[in-house]
Amino acid sequence: MTKIIHNISLYFSFLKASLKEMLIYRLDCIVGMISQIVTQLVEIIFIWIVFQNTDNLAGWNFMQILLLYGVTLISIGISDFCFDALYDIGPKYIREGEFDKILLRPVHPLISIIGSSKEFTALGYFGLGLFLTITMLIKLSIPITIILVLKIIFFSIIGAAIIGAINTIFSIASFWTYRSNEVIWSFYRIYTFAQYPIDIYNKFIKVLITVILPFAFVAYYPSMNYLGMNSNMIYISPIIMIVLWIIAIKLWNLALNKYRSTGT
């Protein structure tokens, strides 16, 4: 247990150091943040256009969909902020030989890697997500109680950790290809499905985002709960998060051992 606490506290020390490094490049941060917000606004305009032609998607109205969108963005923001460096394993750490340096530290390499995340601009997602969530809760006249606020904080973090675990699993590709960032990215994009009510999808996609890559637990089930749609699935998400991380770490260690035996 003390080992886990030491590792987590080290992770935050590394992350703090990365942020300090990032903040030196102020302009980069601001430009990055603005471009992230613009990308998301384009998507929101697209949703708006869809709702010009219909007044609900599987029973969800425009504002409810925007709330779901906002809740997703909060988790994505946190996850990008905390785990972004998973994308660097192939192109940066392994290709440029930085990986050896990290393997020589008295701490699990994943801690060092995710601790080197410098995605300060993820705060753009986070901010926009928070804005959408709060605005929609007010517009939908849902009372913002302390319980609801705590729930949103807790499950947003859980959601971020779920995304982090899924990305960690796909980051294993780094040990075989330098272009692992693209592998992670292509699987990560599947979360887009979970930004809409899953009832609009066929069986395959439903199974995909609830069982295989359980993105639905990031924001979809939590949003249903916040909206009072009687969903208890939300309470499974912490368990899913833990199980995913156990799988991710086990697989990652296996891949690492394989990598160390070939040395390529």
Partner 1 sequence: MSIIEVKDLVKTYKIIQKEDGLKGYIKNLIKPKYNEITAVKGINFNINEGELVGYIGENGAGKSTTIKMLTGLLSPTSGKVIVNGIVPNEKRIENNKNIGAVFGQKTQLWWDLPVIESFRLIKKMYKIPENEYRKNLKKFTEILDLEDLLEKQVKNLSLGQKMRCEIAATFLHNPKIVYLDEPTIGLDVFVKENIRKFIKDINKEKKTTVILTTHDLKDIEDVCDRIILLDKGKIIYDGEKQKFKDTYGKYVIAEFIINSKNRTISNLDNATILEENEKSLKVKFMHNETTIVKLMNEISNYCIIEDIHIKEAELEDILKEIYKGAHKC
At 144, list the tokens: 């913002």
Region 22-51 residues binding partner 1, contact defined as CB under 8 A:
24
Radius of gyration of the chain (CA): 19
Binding window for partner 1 (CB under 8 A); candidates: 52-60, 94-102, 161-169, 188-196:
94-102
DSSP 116: T
Q: List, as one string, the DSSP characters of 38-82.
A: HHHHHHHHHHHHHHHH-S-BTTB-HHHHHHHHHHHHHHHHHHHHH
Among 47, 57, 107, 247, binds partner 1 (CB under 8 A): 107
Whole-number minimum distance, CB 161 to partner 1, in Å?
23
21 binds partner 1 (CB under 8 A): yes
Q: Of 5 and 146, which CB lies nearer to partner 1 in the complex structure?
A: 5
Cβ atoms < 10 Å from Cβ of 249 = 15
Q: How far is the CB of 90 from partner 1 (least distance, A)?
A: 18
Describe the crossing of helices 2-23 and 26-53 by its angle, rounded to 10 degrees.
100
Among 13, 39, 56, 192, interactor with partner 1 by CB under 8 A: 13
Contact in structure between 132 and 66 (CB atoms under 8 Å): yes
* Residue 28: exposure state from Cβ atoms within 10 A (0-12, 13-18, ≥19): middle
Q: Which of 28, 63, 91, 98 binds partner 1 (CB under 8 A)?
A: 98
CA dist 78 to 12, 111, 156, 179, Å? 14, 16, 8, 24
Question: Binding string to partner 1 for residues 243 to 262, with x set by CB under 8 A, is what?
Answer: --------------x--xxx
What does the per-residue mask of binding to partner 1 show for 168-207, with x meaning CB under 8 A? ----------------------------------------
Asked if 145 touches partner 1 (CB under 8 A), the answer is no
Q: Taking each helix axis as running N to C, give the angle between helix 237-262 and helix 146-171, from 0 to 180 degrees, rounded to the nearest 10.
A: 20
How many chain residues touch partner 1 (CB under 8 A)? 25
Residues lying near partner 1 in the complex (CB under 8 A) are found at 6, 9-10, 13-14, 17, 20-21, 24, 97-98, 100-101, 103-108, 257, 260-264
